[in-house]
């Protein structure tokens, strides 16, 4: 496999950042990735793994190897009377994978419809939406160790899943390359429609009986109405995590802002809506040059065409400082920055 030199990355990241890679290669098999990892030309250089490019901000040219993980394939590897275990290559686009499992009549991923990116990124940040997280259906993954090219299996406990978090964003950041993901899906649906938006959307659709496809369609409609299409305006979805704060702080803020949305979280904490905090701090619709905050969803930072990564990062920093000053709450980035 011969990597390409000085390769433009603008079309490989949904923010549309106009940066390049010193070397670029696309790998469609575990063997090809192992070959690149052990190539002496790239030792000591930056190595950035790209999937769908939907949760990254490329703030600079990459002086090293950018490897696009393009391992494909979806397989039902086993089943019993209640469950089926389905494995997907890390390079499979996430939403088509979700729709594939729904087509098989398997439940568990419908609330995660239309989340951008590839399947390999799903366990990295424990993707979640509308009351469901990947960890709820996760079985295992296979990952290549960059240090020696060996293949390692991780079960649910090994991944140390948290809120939009896993061991691959902390202790093992930049060490492993996820190559396959296996989920355990149910043949007997357990519907999760606790979030009012889903119920209201189903009613608007005229759906009378619950089905996994109906829930998927409702989630798709909700997400399409709230989040900008990266094909039309550069963005990486939610730029910040929804913060989990001490209940005492939330209660004090509730006295001042009774309309403030809050959600249950870990014991002694409440989850707050980062988008609401950002909007209340006055940033919704803000624009400086081509870097801005989306006018309909304050949680989404956008590139209107020719913004640089440094400009998006500067804007993010100003938003964080503003929210910290106004609410005494620290916002944490959800997007990975390179």
Check whether residue 37 and residue 98 sit in a common domain: no
Q: What is the pLDDT of residue 208?
A: 79
pLDDT in tens, 217-274: 999 999 998 889 998 999 999 999 999 999 999 999 999 999 999 988 878 899 999 9
Q: pLDDT category, 333, cuts 50, 70, 90?
A: very high
The last residue of one of the domains, among 19, 35, 69, is 69
Q: What is the pLDDT of residue 122?
A: 96
Distance CA 236, CA 249 (A): 30
Residue 215 lies in a domain: no
Annotated catalytic residue within 92, 140, 201, 334: 334
Q: What is the pLDDT of residue 38?
A: 85
Query: pTM for the whole thing?
Result: 0.89
> Above 90 in pLDDT, residue 63?
yes
User: Which residue segment(s) compose the domain that 292 sits in?
Assistant: 234-337
Q: What percent of the chain has pLDDT over 70?
A: 99
Q: pLDDT category, 37, cuts 50, 70, 90?
A: confident
Check whether residue 90 and residue 65 sit in a common domain: no
Strands 4-8 and 151-155: what pairing?
A: unpaired
Check whether residue 83 and residue 180 sit in a common domain: yes
Residue 192 lies in a domain: no
Annotated catalytic residue within 92, 133, 238, 311: 238
Check whether residue 43 and residue 104 sit in a common domain: no
- Annotated catalytic residue 334: yes
Check whether residue 241 and residue 158 sit in a common domain: no
Q: CATH number of the domain that 126 lies in?
A: 3.30.465.10
Distance CA 155, CA 151 (A): 14
Check whether residue 98 and residue 139 sit in a common domain: yes
Q: What is the pLDDT of residue 280?
A: 97
Check whether residue 29 and residue 125 sit in a common domain: no
Annotated catalytic residue within 164, 184, 221, 223: 164
Q: pLDDT category, 43, cuts 50, 70, 90?
A: confident
Q: What is the pLDDT of residue 248?
A: 92
Q: What are all long-range contacts of 315-319, with beta carbons under 8 Å and residues at least 24 apart?
A: 315/286, 315/288, 315/291, 316/239, 316/240, 319/240, 319/278, 319/281, 319/283, 319/293
Check whether residue 17 and residue 98 sit in a common domain: no
Q: What is the pLDDT of residue 70?
A: 96
Check whether residue 55 and residue 146 sit in a common domain: no
Q: What is the pLDDT of residue 195?
A: 76
The last residue of one of the domains, among 129, 157, 186, is 186
Q: What is the pLDDT of residue 240?
A: 96
Distance CA 99, CA 115 (A): 12
Number of structural domains in the chain:
3
pLDDT in tens, 72-103: 999 999 999 999 999 999 999 999 999 999 99
Q: CATH number of the domain that 35 lies in?
A: 3.30.43.10
With b for 16 or more beta-carbon neighbours within 10 A and e for fewer, the 43-61 pattern comes to eeebbbbbbbbbbbbbbee
Q: What is the pLDDT of residue 203?
A: 86
pLDDT in tens, 196-228: 689 889 888 988 789 999 999 999 999 998 889
- Annotated catalytic residue 225: no
- Annotated catalytic residue 190: no
Q: pLDDT category, 185, cuts 50, 70, 90?
A: very high
Q: What is the pLDDT of residue 213?
A: 95
Q: What is the pLDDT of residue 268?
A: 85
Q: Hunting for tokens 């923010």 — which residue is that?
A: 15
């Amino acid at each position: 496999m011969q990597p390409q030199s000085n390769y433009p990355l603008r079309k490989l990241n949904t923010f549309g950042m106009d940066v390049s890679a010193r070397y670029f290669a696309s790998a469609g098999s575990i063997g090809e990735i192992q070959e690149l990892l052990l190539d002496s030309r790239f030792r000591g250089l930056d190595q950035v793994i790209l999937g769908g490019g939907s949760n990254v901000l490329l703030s600079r040219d990459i002086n090293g190897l950018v490897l696009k993980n393009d391992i494909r394939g979806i397989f039902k590897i086993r089943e019993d009377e209640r469950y089926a275990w389905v494995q997907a290559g890390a390079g499979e686009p996430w939403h088509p994978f979700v729709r594939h499992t729904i087509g098989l009549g398997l439940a568990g991923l419908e609330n995660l419809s239309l989340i951008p990116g590839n399947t390999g990124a799903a366990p990295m940040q424990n993707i979640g939406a509308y009351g469901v997280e990947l960890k709820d259906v996760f079985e295992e993954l296979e990952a290549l160790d960059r240090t020696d090219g060996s293949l390692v299996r991780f079960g649910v406990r090994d991944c140390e899943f948290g809120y939009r978090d896993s061991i691959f964003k902390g202790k093992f950041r930049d060490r492993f390359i996820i190559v396959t993901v296996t989920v355990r899906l149910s043949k007997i649906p357990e519907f999760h429609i606790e979030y009012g938006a889903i119920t209201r959307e189903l009613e608007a659709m005229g759906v009378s009986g619950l089905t996994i496809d109906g829930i998927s369609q409702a989630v798709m409609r909700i997400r399409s109405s709230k989040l900008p299409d990266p094909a039309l305006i550069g963005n990486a979805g939610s730029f910040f995590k929804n913060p989990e704060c001490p209940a005492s702080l939330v209660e004090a803020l509730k006295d001042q802002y009774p309309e403030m949305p809050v959600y249950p979280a870990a014991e002694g904490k409440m989850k707050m809506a980062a988008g609401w905090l950002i909007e209340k701090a006055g940033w919704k619709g803000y624009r400086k040059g081509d870097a801005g905050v989306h006018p309909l969803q304050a949680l989404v930072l956008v590139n209107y065409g020719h913004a640089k990564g440094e400009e998006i990062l500067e804007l993010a920093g100003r938003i964080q400082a503003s929210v910290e000053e106004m609410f005494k709450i620290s916002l944490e980035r959800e997007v990975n920055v390179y």
